[in-house]
Structure 1
Amino acid sequence: MYVGVDEAGKGPVLGPMVATAVRADSESLSADVDDSKRVAPEQRREIAAALRADDAVDVAVATVGTVEIDAPDTDMNTLTVRGQARAVRRVARPDDRIVADAGDTSEARFARRLREFVTDPGRETAPPVEGVAVDAAHGADESDPVVGAASIVAKVARDARVAAIDAAYPAYDGVGSGYPSDPTTRAFLRDYVADHGDVPPHARRSWSTCSDALAAAEQSGLDEF
């Protein structure tokens, strides 16, 4: 048995990063399982629900929140390892093989660090897991069905969190996808800052998108003065 792990939401300016670990026999998974980016949203939700309901599959979802992401003493590679390790530690068992979608330019370095985070008793809150073998590869969510399953659950979980954020701000015209390139997301941040003088608590204030919105609001105030 082995564990596939992947994450969703490294790049957005809104909401947490979500990591998912799936422990399963790859041969038992549906043929529809694939990299989440290649599966339609409705089908992703159906697959994620089926995985969670399958007694032969163990699924764990972990988050890395905005406060943690904004901390000055960390970086996205470390946060990705941390999130993946949190999920893995909840489902992995001794001697399992872990396959991760590498979140680092060096696959070997990512695998080594993930194993350290999974096996070290001093890290995270879930119990460590001894004796695991860890592999990491770029594009593992495309080439490995269990990692693909993890990518689907992570994407569905991340989308649900964005939907909850959207529902928390009914006075605005939606928050969009949460990605900096999304005009709806940028408009939401701009309007929220104009109303409140700061970015919302769900925003990653260390992202340049937030800095730009704050700077624009400040300049607008100076122009009016």
Structure 2
Amino acid sequence: MPFGVDEAGKGPALGSMFAAAVHCEEPSVLPDGIRDSKRLSPERREELAATLRSDDRLAIGVAEITPARIDDPETDMNSLAVASHAEAIEGTVSDLERAGDANGTISGLCDACDTDAERFARRVADACSLEGVAVDARHGADDESPLVGAASIIAKVERDAHIATLSDEYGPIGSGYPGDSTTRAFLASYVDEHRELPPFARESWSTCEDVLAAAEQTGLEQF
């Protein structure tokens, strides 16, 4: 299992989803403390991500699924999770091929983003445009596999950096998740001021639809 794949940001109402793939021929070279990113502090995730990226024995691929892709009525989140995993794998394996390190079949493990792990693995393998990629998937793989845990850390750090960039431009937006009071307050304030959602909102999410509907109702009541 020389590569592991995981995603971050599947459920938020704001911002992109990211997937990462980490390839390593010998997982024992991974730094100590690798585990599911949700079990680590932001500071520790940053440290581990920097260590992973600085190790030339590793190949890392990252895929971004933007809000525009998420809002496309012709797709759904399960299909986009498949696409993000496949794109991250392609980025990783392509780097290996350019370096002349990839020969024959390359296999790996994904953290399953579907209730049916076998179906998810099959769909990711079918979505990969490269030959010779074998994919397995398991629920909880980010806890069980150091490589999937490493991918989880990279994906989460990418997602956090994305949110930090948006916050620098728009002010505090919170985590982007519907349950975050800062996120809800930001959405309500932005829509109240601009009469539309911010450009990085997932417009098809019920959280965003509800904020727009509330603003429209408030506007009607003022007349």
Name the TM tier (shorter chain).
over 0.9
1:126-168 CA-to-partner distances (Å, cap 9, x unmatched) read xx32122210000000000000000000000000000011111
- Where does 1:118-157 land on structure 2 (aligned, <5 Å)? 118=128, 128-157=129-158
Provide the rounded CA distance (Å) in 2 between the counterparts of 1:116 and 1:38.
31
Match of 1:185 in 2: 183
RMSD of aligned Cα (Å): 1.0
- Where does 1:22-33 land on structure 2 (aligned, <5 Å)? 22-24=22-24, 25-33=26-34
The answer on 1:48 being equivalent to 2:46 is no
- Where does 1:91-130 land on structure 2 (aligned, <5 Å)? 91-92=92-93, 93=102, 94-118=104-128, 128-130=129-131
Aligned residue pairs total 213
The question of whether the paired residues in 1 share the 8 Å contact of 2:31 and 2:51 is answered with no
Provide the rounded CA distance (Å) in 1 between the counterparts of 2:130 and 2:30.
24
Letter in 2 for 1:117: A
1:93-144 CA-to-partner distances (Å, cap 9, x unmatched) read 44111100000000000000000011xxxxxxxxx32122210000000000
Match of 1:125 in 2: none
Letter in 1 for 2:16: P
Provide the rounded CA distance (Å) in 2 between the counterparts of 1:79 and 1:144.
23
Runs of 5+ unmatched residues, structure 1: 119-127
The question of whether the paired residues in 1 share the 8 Å contact of 2:121 and 2:137 is answered with yes
The answer on 1:211 being equivalent to 2:221 is no
Match of 1:196 in 2: 194
Provide the rounded CA distance (Å) in 2 between the counterparts of 1:158 and 1:73.
24
Letter in 2 for 1:47: L
Match of 2:218 in 1: 220
Provide the rounded CA distance (Å) in 1 between the counterparts of 2:222 and 2:133.
61
Provide the rounded CA distance (Å) in 1 between the counterparts of 2:69 and 2:135.
25
Match of 2:89 in 1: 88
Provide the rounded CA distance (Å) in 2 between the counterparts of 1:77 and 1:98.
19
Match of 1:17 in 2: 17
Give the drift of 1:223. Answer: 1.4
Provide the rounded CA distance (Å) in 2 between the counterparts of 1:132 and 1:199.
40
The 4+ residue runs of structure 1 with deviation greater than 6 A are: none
Give the drift of 1:26. Answer: 1.2
The two structures have a TM-score, normalised by structure 1, of 0.92
% same residue: 53
Give the drift of 1:192. Answer: 0.5
Match of 1:124 in 2: none
Match of 1:60 in 2: 61
Letter in 2 for 1:103: C
The two structures have a TM-score, normalised by structure 2, of 0.93
